[in-house]
Amino acid sequence: MVGSIGVSYGLEEARREFWEAWNGLSQVHTQKELEAQSEKMWAARKRLLKVDPEFRAMIKAREDKANAEAEE
Protein backbone atom coordinates (compact mmCIF):
# COMPACT_ATOMS: atom_id res chain seq x y z
CA MET A 1 0.00 0.00 0.00
CA VAL A 2 2.79 2.42 0.81
CA GLY A 3 4.35 1.79 -2.60
CA SER A 4 1.15 2.70 -4.41
CA ILE A 5 0.97 5.98 -2.49
CA GLY A 6 4.53 6.80 -3.54
CA VAL A 7 3.79 5.93 -7.15
CA SER A 8 0.62 8.02 -7.09
CA TYR A 9 2.49 10.97 -5.59
CA GLY A 10 5.16 10.69 -8.27
CA LEU A 11 2.51 10.64 -10.97
CA GLU A 12 0.65 13.64 -9.57
CA GLU A 13 3.91 15.53 -9.06
CA ALA A 14 4.98 14.82 -12.64
CA ARG A 15 1.60 15.96 -13.96
CA ARG A 16 1.71 19.15 -11.91
CA GLU A 17 5.27 19.89 -12.98
CA PHE A 18 4.44 19.40 -16.67
CA TRP A 19 1.28 21.51 -16.67
CA GLU A 20 2.97 24.30 -14.71
CA ALA A 21 5.81 24.32 -17.25
CA TRP A 22 3.33 24.16 -20.16
CA ASN A 23 1.27 27.05 -18.80
CA GLY A 24 4.46 28.96 -18.07
CA LEU A 25 5.18 29.12 -21.79
CA SER A 26 2.47 31.78 -22.13
CA GLN A 27 4.09 33.88 -19.41
CA VAL A 28 7.45 34.50 -21.07
CA HIS A 29 8.38 37.78 -22.74
CA THR A 30 11.83 37.24 -24.22
CA GLN A 31 13.48 34.64 -26.42
CA LYS A 32 15.81 33.71 -23.56
CA GLU A 33 12.86 33.16 -21.19
CA LEU A 34 11.09 31.13 -23.88
CA GLU A 35 14.12 28.89 -24.37
CA ALA A 36 14.51 28.33 -20.61
CA GLN A 37 10.80 27.60 -20.11
CA SER A 38 10.75 25.34 -23.15
CA GLU A 39 13.64 23.31 -21.71
CA LYS A 40 11.71 22.94 -18.44
CA MET A 41 8.58 21.86 -20.32
CA TRP A 42 10.40 19.25 -22.44
CA ALA A 43 12.17 17.82 -19.36
CA ALA A 44 8.86 17.63 -17.48
CA ARG A 45 7.21 16.03 -20.53
CA LYS A 46 9.91 13.37 -20.65
CA ARG A 47 9.42 12.56 -16.94
CA LEU A 48 5.64 12.47 -17.34
CA LEU A 49 5.85 10.12 -20.32
CA LYS A 50 7.76 7.67 -18.12
CA VAL A 51 5.16 7.54 -15.34
CA ASP A 52 1.78 8.33 -16.92
CA PRO A 53 0.26 5.76 -19.30
CA GLU A 54 -2.70 8.06 -20.06
CA PHE A 55 -0.38 10.90 -21.08
CA ARG A 56 1.72 8.48 -23.15
CA ALA A 57 -1.43 7.27 -24.96
CA MET A 58 -2.61 10.84 -25.58
CA ILE A 59 0.75 11.86 -27.06
CA LYS A 60 0.91 8.72 -29.21
CA ALA A 61 -2.62 9.34 -30.53
CA ARG A 62 -1.71 12.93 -31.45
CA GLU A 63 1.49 11.83 -33.16
CA ASP A 64 -0.32 9.06 -35.06
CA LYS A 65 -2.97 11.53 -36.22
CA ALA A 66 -0.35 14.06 -37.33
CA ASN A 67 1.57 11.36 -39.20
CA ALA A 68 -1.59 10.12 -40.94
CA GLU A 69 -2.49 13.67 -41.97
CA ALA A 70 1.03 14.26 -43.27
CA GLU A 71 0.77 11.16 -45.46
CA GLU A 72 -2.52 12.26 -47.07
**Type of residue found at 21:** A
Of 9, 13, 11, 36, nearest to 25 (Cα)?
36
According to the model, what pLDDT value does residue 7 have?
Answer: 53
According to the model, what pLDDT value does residue 3 have?
Answer: 47
Q: Specify the pTM.
A: 0.76
Residue 59 class from Cβ within 10 Å (0-12 exposed, 13-18 middle, 19+ buried)? middle
Residue 2 has pLDDT above 70, yes or no: no
pLDDT digits (tens, 9 = 90+) for 3-40: 454 556 699 999 999 999 999 999 999 999 999 999 99
Question: CA-CA distance, 39 to 20, in Å (whole number)?
Answer: 13
